Amino acid sequence: MVELGPIGVWGHLDSLPVDRLRTFARRVEELGYGALWMPETVGREPFTILGLLAGETHHMRLGTSIVSIWGHDPQTTRMAAMTLAEATNGRFVLGLGVSHPHLAEKLRGHTYEKPLTRMREFLAAYRSAVYKGPMATPDLGEPPVLLAALRERMLGLAAAETDGAFPYLFTADRVAWARGVLDRAAASAGQPRPVLAVSMPAVLEADPGPARDAARAYLAPYLRTPNYRASWELQGFGPDDWEKPGSDRLVDAMVAWGSVARLRDALAKLHAAGADHVAVISLGPDGSTEYLPVLEALAPA
């Protein structure tokens, strides 16, 4: 199983100038976090930024969570992944996902259809893509691959054909469900136990008003996405919960807030539910994701 460490850090990595971002990455590693993850939306390009940070870090994993299969063909994706595997001396993890209809269609001009089939086809093409570049050492091999998976069939694909899954915006109960789906699918396919990485948005604020304000600022872009609405419905939420600005019930379930002890308890519940790795999304008062006080308070080191 891929070793990520019990706790990592997830962030858009867009709120800091590049020089401060270098400092941020070094500090995250100093604090003992096992991995630093970034997504692909409409900000910085993740392969480029992680290549920049490869030289600033030495031990922790660097990963995409996630890059969209609509934004990269399998050949360029494998070339980028293998390049980063070399640049990080084997620390890179490739997170792939099917993203969302509005990002695939309006932003990139694709037709968003049959996401499970498209992911299966992408993985096959990725595995067969030609790469003749150098490797840091002959025994490094391929970088691990994780899939963003919210539902049973994508979790099954992750278990059968990749190293694991990285679902997003899950309650602890949903994490336990995902753990079971992954393990059963892996056993059926004769595969090793898959890694289950999850994220935990966190606000270090005990006052409910400002804590929920920060949480809502972060969650706002996700409230309109059909994929998350469908996932939330399976977790027991409904339209009244994701209607802007989001119900207190949804906000409190998706974002941990409160004292250090309360945040640590939320982390412990995700691990107890079956998560191998929890990536902390450290939210500032404005909902931005590179807020060091949260990471310093929860540091494993």
pLDDT of the residue at 50: 97
Other Cβ atoms less than 10 A from the Cβ of 140: the count is 16
In this predicted model, what pLDDT tens digit does every residue of 98-123 receive, in sequence order? 976 676 666 667 677 899 999 999 99
In this predicted model, what pLDDT tens digit does every residue of 180-197 receive, in sequence order? 999 999 999 999 999 999
Structural domains of the chain ordered from first start = 7-298 (3.20.20.30)
Q: Is 17 exposed, middle or buried (0-12, 13-18, 19+ CB in 10 A)?
A: exposed
Residues paired with residue 94 on neighbouring β-strands, in sequence order: 145
Separation between Cα atoms, residue 204 and residue 211, nearest integer Å = 8
Other Cβ atoms less than 10 A from the Cβ of 132: the count is 6
- pLDDT-based confidence at 2, cuts 50/70/90? confident
DSSP secondary structure letters along 136-162: SSTT--SPPEEE---SHHHHHHHHHHS
- pLDDT-based confidence at 206, cuts 50/70/90? very high
pLDDT of the residue at 104: 65
pTM: 0.95
Other Cβ atoms less than 10 A from the Cβ of 114: the count is 11
Residues paired with residue 145 on neighbouring β-strands, in sequence order: 94
